[in-house]
């Protein structure tokens, strides 16, 4: 028995975003993205609306995530830390409350939204 593999066809099967593997990967990426948006804590909606996915080739892969700079601090917990003013003015919140030139932030509990969304395709969510 002899089996001949047609290398260009195999490459197309595994690396073509429009092929069966690419279509399945896109479906899984959409499920993870929807799960992340559903789990994302909503303060302003900016983080939630920034979550997306894209297929890259060579090798075929799904990139899922966000470009919002503070996303990491939502996903993972932060330790207590000091926040200092970068000038001669005090720190204020959006309501105008004044806190002084230094604030001791208590840290935050992580609210995993992206990693937890992977459970949607692992069978756990």
> 36, 30 in Cβ contact below 8 A?
no
pLDDT digits (tens, 9 = 90+) for 73-95: 999 999 999 999 999 999 998 89
What is the rounded CA–CA span in Å between residue 124 and residue 120? 6
Sites in the chain below the pLDDT cut of 50: none
Domain span including residue 44? 7-122
In a domain, 2, yes or no: no
Contact 25, 63 (CB under 8 A): no
Contact 33, 117 (CB under 8 A): yes
Asked whether residue 112 is domain-assigned, the answer is yes
Where b means 16+ CB within 10 Å and e means fewer, 30-54 reads ebbbebbbebbeeeeeebbeebebe
- pLDDT, residue 36, reads 95
Q: Is residue 1 part of a domain?
A: no
Question: pLDDT, tens digit, for every residue of 99-108?
Answer: 999 999 999 9
* pTM for the structure as a whole: 0.75
**Tally of structural domains, the chain:** 1
Within-domain flag for 97: yes
Confirm whether 54 is domain-assigned. yes
At residue 8, the pLDDT reads 84
Q: Does residue 63 belong to any structural domain of this protein? A: yes
Q: What does the pLDDT read at residue 124?
A: 55
């Amino acid at each position: 028995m002899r089996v001949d593999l047609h290398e260009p066809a195999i490459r197309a099967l595994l690396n073509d975003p429009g092929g069966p593997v690419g279509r399945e990967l896109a479906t899984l990426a959409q499920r993870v993205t929807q799960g992340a948006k559903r789990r994302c804590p909503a303060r302003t909606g900016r983080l939630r609306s920034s979550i997306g996915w894209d297929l890259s080739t060579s090798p075929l892969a799904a990139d899922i995530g966000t470009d919002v700079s503070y996303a990491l601090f939502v996903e993972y917990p932060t330790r207590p830390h000091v926040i200092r003013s970068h000038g001669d003015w005090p720190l204020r919140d959006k309501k105008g409350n004044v806190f002084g030139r230094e604030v001791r932030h208590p840290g935050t509990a992580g609210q995993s939204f992206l990693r937890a969304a992977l459970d949607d395709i692992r069978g756990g969510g």
